[in-house]
């Protein structure tokens, strides 16, 4: 098994946090969720950070933390859905970790929307058409990765298993 850290990327709600936790449990590694670390540092939910300080401040902190955690080996790191908007973050992850893109189709994703809008500021106040547009616009930022896993029709355990299997092949 690779000794590098594993970084999970993909659109909001694809399962980076839930699948990441399961991968870490199965591999007996520590799990770091960058969104959660940011919330802990600001002592407020992401929606409040966006409102109080703006997205730019959130992104700055996100980059700083990703820089810190990608220096470690053997972690499972779930980064936010927008982390790869920053070229430097993308470079840091691709050069020091194994980047796993969790992929999902729009048809599967749209059934999850009700679990997500309350806690994801970039989905709030948007119509379903606008969210679909964002989903499409975001796809190019995930195109640089080491492993791609299609998660449609997989439950959380199955998705984690598929990632671990794929890690064994590189």
Ligand X SMILES: Nc1ncnc2c1ncn2[C@@H]1O[C@H](COP(=O)(O)OP(=O)(O)OP(=O)(O)O)[C@@H](O)[C@H]1O
Which residues contact ligand X (rule: CB under 6 A)? Answer: 10, 12-19, 35, 78, 80-81, 112, 115, 120, 151, 154-156, 159
Q: How far is CA 32 from CA 1, 68, 72, 112, in A?
A: 19, 11, 11, 23
Is residue 33 part of the contact set for ligand SKM (CB under 6 A)?
Answer: no
DSSP characters over 6-55: EEEE-STTSSHHHHHHHHHHHHT-EEEEHHHHHHHHHTS-HHHHHHHH-H
Is 78 in a helix, a strand, or coil?
A: strand
Which residue's Cβ has the minimum distance to ligand X? 15
From 2, 17, 110, 148, residue interacting with Mg ion (rule: CB under 5 A): 17
Q: In this chain, which stretch among 80-88, 124-132, 140-148, 159-167 interacts with ligand SKM, using CB under 6 A?
A: 80-88
96 binds, among Mg ion, ligand SKM, ligand X, none (CB under 5 to 8 A by kind): none
Q: Cβ closer to ligand SKM: 139 or 165?
A: 139
CB of 137 to ligand SKM, least distance (A): 11
> Does 122 interact with ligand SKM (rule: CB under 6 A)?
yes
Rounded to an integer, what distance in angstroms lies between the CA atom of residue 83 and that of residue 45?
17
Q: Tell me the HSE value of 48 on the side-chain side, using a 13 A CA sphere.
A: 8
User: Minimum distance between the CB of residue 14 and Mg ion, rounded to whole angstroms?
Assistant: 9
Closer residue to Mg ion in complex, CB, 16/90: 16
Beta strand spans in 41-167 (E): 75-78, 97-103, 147-150
- Contacts to ligand SKM by CB under 6 A: 12, 35, 46, 80-82, 120-122
């Amino acid at each position: 098994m690779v000794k590098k850290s594993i970084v999970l990327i993909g659109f909001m709600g694809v399962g980076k946090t839930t699948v990441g936790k399961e991968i870490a449990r199965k591999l007996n590694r520590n799990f770091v969720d960058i969104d959660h670390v940011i919330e802990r540092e600001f002592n407020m939910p992401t929606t409040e950070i966006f409102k109080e300080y703006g997205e730019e401040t959130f992104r700055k902190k996100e980059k700083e933390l990703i820089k810190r955690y990608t220096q470690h080996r053997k972690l499972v790191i779930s980064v936010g859905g927008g982390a790869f908007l920053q070229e430097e973050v993308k470079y840091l992850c691709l050069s020091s970790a194994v980047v796993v893109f969790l992929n999902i189709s729009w048809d599967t994703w749209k059934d999850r929307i009700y679990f997500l809008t309350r806690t994801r500021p970039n989905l709030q106040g948007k119509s379903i058409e606008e969210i679909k547009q964002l989903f499409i616009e975001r796809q190019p930022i995930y195109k640089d990765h080491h492993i791609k896993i299609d998660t449609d029709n997989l439950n959380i355990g199955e998705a984690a298993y598929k990632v671990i299997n794929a890690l064994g092949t590189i």
